[in-house]
């Protein structure tokens, strides 16, 4: 599956507000696929890639859909016209700004893994949780994210994950200086 044939599938219910799906990602995809001349090409050519070269420190990071602990949104890059073309948009800028700022590709093709199908299938199913598997990232509009089953259990309404509350006990050690008579 490439980009969803019907973007309404990933359109948040309220205009301008993210819910399970990101308003900014929807807005961006809608905008670039509805431009008069290029839109129809983008719909067929858009690819999502994982950059294996860390943008943070240059380390090599492999994409593994079965182990997403190292899944960082900063490594996800959208190529509106496909990998062969030079224009790219960083997923984290799209999510935070909703704008498409075009960058020139400075990496070679071998640095990328095509995750287009995985990305859209998973995004349709899990929504914004694709960017936050651990459910601890700061995100906007998360008030309605969890369904409280009881005081110790909740379920994520976006991706369906069940979570239980764990109480962590922390013992603090304080060193207090006292001067006592000799
Ligand atoms: Zn979730």
Separation of 73 CA from ligand 1 center, angstroms?
Answer: 16
Q: How far apart are the first and last CA of the chain?
A: 80
**What are the tokens at 20?**
């399970």
Separation of 176 CA from ligand 1 center, angstroms?
Answer: 44
Separation of 19 CA from ligand 1 center, angstroms?
Answer: 12
Separation of 66 CA from ligand 1 center, angstroms?
Answer: 16
Mean pLDDT for 75-94 is 90
Separation of 164 CA from ligand 1 center, angstroms?
Answer: 13
Separation of 156 CA from ligand 1 center, angstroms?
Answer: 5
In a domain, 173, yes or no: no
In a domain, 16, yes or no: yes
- The confidence band for 68, taking pLDDT boundaries of 50, 70 and 90, is confident
> Quick check: 137 pLDDT over 90?
no
Contacts of 116 (CB under 8 A, 6+ apart): 2, 3, 46, 47, 48, 49
In a domain, 167, yes or no: no
The predicted pLDDT at position 41 comes to 85
In a domain, 119, yes or no: yes
Separation of 123 CA from ligand 1 center, angstroms?
Answer: 11
Full domain range(s) for residue 29: 7-131
What does pTM read for this prediction? 0.85
In a domain, 108, yes or no: yes
Closest CA to 26 of 125, 128, 109: 128
**What are the tokens at 73?**
């949104």
The secondary structure of the chain in percent helix, strand, coil, rounded to multiples of 5, reads 30, 20, 55
């Amino acid at each position: 599956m490439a980009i969803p044939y019907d973007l309404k599938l990933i359109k948040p219910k309220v205009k301008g507000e993210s819910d399970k799906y990101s308003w900014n990602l929807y807005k961006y995809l809608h905008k670039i696929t509805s431009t008069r001349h290029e839109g129809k090409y983008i719909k067929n050519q858009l690819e999502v890639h994982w950059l294996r070269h860390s943008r943070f420190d240059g380390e090599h990071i492999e994409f593994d859909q079965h182990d997403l602990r190292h899944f960082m949104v900063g490594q996800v890059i959208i190529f509106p016209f496909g990998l062969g073309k030079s224009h790219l948009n960083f997923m984290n800028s799209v999510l935070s700004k909703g704008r498409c700022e075009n960058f020139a590709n400075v990496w070679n093709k071998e640095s990328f893994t095509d995750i287009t199908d995985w990305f859209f299938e998973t995004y349709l199913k899990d929504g914004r949780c694709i960017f936050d598997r651990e459910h601890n990232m700061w995100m906007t509009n998360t008030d309605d994210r969890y369904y409280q089953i009881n005081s110790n259990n909740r379920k994520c309404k976006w991706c369906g994950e069940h979570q239980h509350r764990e109480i962590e006990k922390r013992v603090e050690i304080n060193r207090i200086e006292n001067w006592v008579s000799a």
